[in-house]
A and B are shown apart, each in its own frame.
Chain A
Amino acid sequence: MTEPLIYEISRPGRHADYLPDLDVPETALPAEGVRADLPLPELAEIDVVRHYTRLSQLNHSIDTGFYPLGSCTMKYNPRVNEVAARLPGFAAIHPLQDPENTAQGALQLIFELQEMLAEIAGFDAVTLQPSAGAHGELTGVLIMRKYLYEERGETQRDVILVPDSAHGTNPATTSMSGLRVIEVPSDARGNVDLEALRALVARHGPNLVGLMLTNPNTLGLFDENVEEVVRLVHKAGGLVYGDGANFNAILGIARPGDLGFDVMHYNLHKTFSTPHGGGGPGSGAVGVAAHLAEYLPGPVVAYAHGEDPHPNPLPRGEGTDLFLPFPAGEGRGEGDWDEHDHDHMGEFYWTMPAKSIGRVKAFWGNFGVLVRAYTYIKMHGAEGLRAVSENAVLNANYLQARLRGVYPIPHGDRTCMHEFVAQGILAGAADVNTMDIAKRLMDFGFHPPTVYFPLIVREALMIEPTETEGKETLDAFADALIQIAAEARAEPELLKTAPHTAPIGRLDEVRAAKNLILCAAPVCLG
Chain B
Amino acid sequence: MTYIPNTDADRAAMLAEVGVGSVAELFHDVPAAHRFPELILPPALSELEMLAELRSLAAANWDVQMTPCFLGAGAYNHFIPSVVDAMLQRGEFFTAYTPYQPEISQGTLQAHFEYQSMMTALTGMEVANVSHYDGATAAAEAVIMALGVARGKRCKMALSPTLHPQYRAVIYTYTQGMCLEAVGEDAPLGDLAALAARIDDETACVVAQNPDFLGRLYTPAEMQALADAAHAAGAQFIVSVDPISLGLFTPPGEYGADIVTGEGQSLGNALSFGGPYLGFFAMKLSDVRKSAGRIVGQTEDAEGERGYVLTLSTREQHIRREKASSNICTNQALNALAAAVYMAAMGKHGLRKAAELSYHKTHYAAGQIDALSDYAVVGNGPFFKEFVVKCPLPVAEINHFLLEEYGLIGGYDLGQDYPALENHMLLCVTEMNTREQIDALVEGLAEVADAFPHPNPLPEGEGTSANLPLPLGEGRGEGGRGEGNRRQAND
Q: Does B34 contact A (CB under 8 A)?
A: yes
Known A131-B134, A131-B332, A442-B103; contact A94-B271, beta-carbon cutoff 8 A: yes
Closest 10 pairs (CB-CB, A-B) = A178-B177, A89-B58, A363-B274, A333-B52, A95-B274, A381-B44, A277-B334, A358-B485, A105-B60, A63-B91
Residue of B nearest to A139 (CB): B173
Docked Cα-Cα span, A329 to B295, in Å, equals 52
One of B21-29, B225-233, B443-451 at the interface:
B21-29
Write the nearest CB–CB distance from A35 to chain B, whole angstroms: 5
One of A234-242, A425-433, A468-476 at the interface:
A468-476
- Please name all residues of chain A whose beta carbon is closer than 8 Å to the beta carbon of B65 when the two chains form the complex: 88, 92
Residue of B nearest to A524 (CB): B120
- Please name all residues of chain A whose beta carbon is closer than 8 Å to the beta carbon of B117 when the two chains form the complex: 5-7, 519-520, 523-524
How many chain A residues sit at the interface, stated as a range, is: 35 or more
Once the chains bind, are B250 and A35 in contact (CB under 8 Å)? yes
Within the complex, which residue of B27, B302, B328, B331 is in contact with A506, where a contact is CB–CB below 8 Å? B302
In B304-328, the 8 Å CB interface with A consists of 305-309, 311-312, 314, 316-324, 326-328
Write the nearest CB–CB distance from B118 to chain A, whole angstroms: 6
Residue of A nearest to B413 (CB): A96
One of A197-205, A303-311, A385-393, A482-490 at the interface:
A385-393
> B96, B273, B329 — which one has the most chain A CB atoms within 10 A of its CB?
B273
> A132, A168, A278 — which one has the most chain B CB atoms within 10 A of its CB?
A278
Q: Does B453 contact A (CB under 8 A)?
A: no
- Please name all residues of chain B whose beta carbon is closer than 8 Å to the beta carbon of A222 when the two chains form the complex: 27, 29-30
Within the complex, which residue of B108, B246, B353, B435 is in contact with A279, where a contact is CB–CB below 8 Å? B108
- Please name all residues of chain B whose beta carbon is closer than 8 Å to the beta carbon of A227 when the two chains form the complex: 31
Apart from A38-B351, A134-B330, 6 more pairs, CB < 8 Å: A2-B305, A27-B360, A106-B57, A142-B177, A275-B94, A400-B18
Known A80-B50, A98-B399; contact A336-B274, beta-carbon cutoff 8 A: no
What are 19 residue pairs bridging A and B, where the CB atoms are less than 8 Å apart in the complex? A41-B343, A77-B94, A96-B71, A131-B137, A167-B329, A171-B321, A254-B31, A278-B111, A279-B130, A280-B330, A281-B335, A282-B330, A337-B59, A361-B134, A394-B11, A401-B19, A504-B307, A505-B302, A519-B126
Write the nearest CB–CB distance from B166 to chain A, whole angstroms: 4
Once the chains bind, are B274 and A364 in contact (CB under 8 Å)? yes
Q: Does B357 contact A (CB under 8 A)?
A: yes
Once the chains bind, are B39 and A56 in contact (CB under 8 Å)? no
Write the nearest CB–CB distance from A393 to chain B, whole angstroms: 5
- Please name all residues of chain B whose beta carbon is closer than 8 Å to the beta carbon of A173 when the two chains form the complex: 327
Docked Cα-Cα span, A362 to B168, in Å, equals 10
Once the chains bind, are A87 and B54 in contact (CB under 8 Å)? yes
Residue of A nearest to B15 (CB): A394
Once the chains bind, are A363 and B37 in contact (CB under 8 Å)? no
Q: Does B434 contact A (CB under 8 A)?
A: yes
- Please name all residues of chain A whose beta carbon is closer than 8 Å to the beta carbon of B329 when the two chains form the complex: 132-134, 167-169
Residue of B nearest to A471 (CB): B10
Once the chains bind, are B104 and A33 in contact (CB under 8 Å)? no
- Please name all residues of chain B whose beta carbon is closer than 8 Å to the beta carbon of A507 when the two chains form the complex: 102-103, 299-301, 307-309
Known A175-B323, A226-B31; contact A447-B177, beta-carbon cutoff 8 A: no
Once the chains bind, are A48 and B341 in contact (CB under 8 Å)? yes
Known A280-B333, A363-B166, A518-B296; contact A508-B434, beta-carbon cutoff 8 A: no
Known A35-B248, A381-B42; contact A134-B327, beta-carbon cutoff 8 A: yes
Q: Does A83 contact B (CB under 8 A)?
A: yes
Write the nearest CB–CB distance from B110 to chain A, whole angstroms: 6
Once the chains bind, are B403 and A359 in contact (CB under 8 Å)? no
Write the nearest CB–CB distance from B109 to chain A, whole angstroms: 9
Write the nearest CB–CB distance from A394 to chain B, whole angstroms: 6
Known A32-B221, A384-B44; contact A393-B27, beta-carbon cutoff 8 A: yes
Docked Cα-Cα span, A518 to B130, in Å, equals 11
Once the chains bind, are A19 and B431 in contact (CB under 8 Å)? yes
Write the nearest CB–CB distance from A153 to chain B, whole angstroms: 13
Residue of B nearest to A85 (CB): B272
Docked Cα-Cα span, A359 to B312, in Å, equals 30
- Please name all residues of chain B whose beta carbon is closer than 8 Å to the beta carbon of A379 when the two chains form the complex: 1, 44-47, 50
> A23, A77, A352, A395 — which one has the most chain B CB atoms within 10 A of its CB?
A23
Within the complex, which residue of B6, B91, B254 is in contact with A471, where a contact is CB–CB below 8 Å? B6
Docked Cα-Cα span, A384 to B2, in Å, equals 7
- Please name all residues of chain A whose beta carbon is closer than 8 Å to the beta carbon of B173 when the two chains form the complex: 142, 297, 357-360
- Please name all residues of chain A whose beta carbon is closer than 8 Å to the beta carbon of B425 when the two chains form the complex: none
Once the chains bind, are B318 and A388 in contact (CB under 8 Å)? no
Docked Cα-Cα span, A145 to B491, in Å, equals 12
Once the chains bind, are B53 and A378 in contact (CB under 8 Å)? yes
Residue of A nearest to B9 (CB): A471
The 8 A CB mask of B33-74 against A (1 = contact, 0 = none) is 011111111111111011111111111111111110101011
Once the chains bind, are A33 and B63 in contact (CB under 8 Å)? no
One of B76-84, B189-197, B469-477 at the interface:
B76-84
Q: Does B217 contact A (CB under 8 A)?
A: yes
Known A64-B92, A102-B61, A352-B481; contact A518-B177, beta-carbon cutoff 8 A: no
Once the chains bind, are B133 and A131 in contact (CB under 8 Å)? yes
- Please name all residues of chain B whose beta carbon is closer than 8 Å to the beta carbon of A49 when the two chains form the complex: 83, 86-87
Q: Does B127 contact A (CB under 8 A)?
A: yes
Within the complex, which residue of A53, A59, A447 is in contact with B87, where a contact is CB–CB below 8 Å? A53
- Please name all residues of chain B whose beta carbon is closer than 8 Å to the beta carbon of A25 when the two chains form the complex: 360, 364
Within the complex, which residue of A60, A97, A439 is in contact with B105, where a contact is CB–CB below 8 Å? A60
Q: Does B237 contact A (CB under 8 A)?
A: no
The 8 A CB mask of B272-312 against A (1 = contact, 0 = none) is 11111100000001001000001111111111011111011
Q: Does B409 contact A (CB under 8 A)?
A: yes
Write the nearest CB–CB distance from B128 to chain A, whole angstroms: 8
Q: Does B164 contact A (CB under 8 A)?
A: yes
Once the chains bind, are B251 and A506 in contact (CB under 8 Å)? no
The 8 A CB mask of A484-508 against B (1 = contact, 0 = none) is 0000000000000001001111111
- Please name all residues of chain A whose beta carbon is closer than 8 Å to the beta carbon of B58 when the two chains form the complex: 87-90, 105
The 8 A CB mask of A508-526 against B (1 = contact, 0 = none) is 1101110011111001100
Once the chains bind, are B350 and A16 in contact (CB under 8 Å)? yes
Q: Does B420 contact A (CB under 8 A)?
A: no
- Please name all residues of chain A whose beta carbon is closer than 8 Å to the beta carbon of B135 when the two chains form the complex: 362
Once the chains bind, are A97 and B334 in contact (CB under 8 Å)? no
Once the chains bind, are A442 and B172 in contact (CB under 8 Å)? no
Within the complex, which residue of B102, B106, B110, B350 is in contact with A15, where a contact is CB–CB below 8 Å? B350
In B159-189, the 8 Å CB interface with A consists of 164, 166-167, 169-170, 172-174, 176-178
Known A320-B40, A356-B485; contact A397-B105, beta-carbon cutoff 8 A: no
In B131-152, the 8 Å CB interface with A consists of 131, 133-137, 144
Q: Does B17 contact A (CB under 8 A)?
A: yes
Once the chains bind, are A61 and B91 in contact (CB under 8 Å)? yes
Docked Cα-Cα span, A520 to B179, in Å, equals 38
Once the chains bind, are A2 and B60 in contact (CB under 8 Å)? no
Once the chains bind, are A56 and B41 in contact (CB under 8 Å)? no
In A140-189, the 8 Å CB interface with B consists of 142, 145-146, 149, 167-169, 171-179, 181
Docked Cα-Cα span, A513 to B309, in Å, equals 9
Docked Cα-Cα span, A250 to B53, in Å, equals 28
Docked Cα-Cα span, A19 to B10, in Å, equals 55
Docked Cα-Cα span, A20 to B392, in Å, equals 34
- Please name all residues of chain B whose beta carbon is closer than 8 Å to the beta carbon of A175 when the two chains form the complex: 322-324
Within the complex, which residue of A102, A253, A397 is in contact with B18, where a contact is CB–CB below 8 Å? A397
Once the chains bind, are A471 and B341 in contact (CB under 8 Å)? no
Docked Cα-Cα span, A145 to B294, in Å, equals 28
Once the chains bind, are A176 and B326 in contact (CB under 8 Å)? yes
Within the complex, which residue of B3, B100, B318, B361 is in contact with A76, where a contact is CB–CB below 8 Å? B3
Write the nearest CB–CB distance from B306 to chain A, whole angstroms: 6
Q: Does B5 contact A (CB under 8 A)?
A: yes
Once the chains bind, are B17 and A32 in contact (CB under 8 Å)? no
Once the chains bind, are B103 and A504 in contact (CB under 8 Å)? yes
Within the complex, which residue of B41, B85, B86, B99 is in contact with A120, where a contact is CB–CB below 8 Å? B41
- Please name all residues of chain A whose beta carbon is closer than 8 Å to the beta carbon of B457 when the two chains form the complex: none
Q: Does B263 contact A (CB under 8 A)?
A: yes
Q: Does A375 contact B (CB under 8 A)?
A: yes
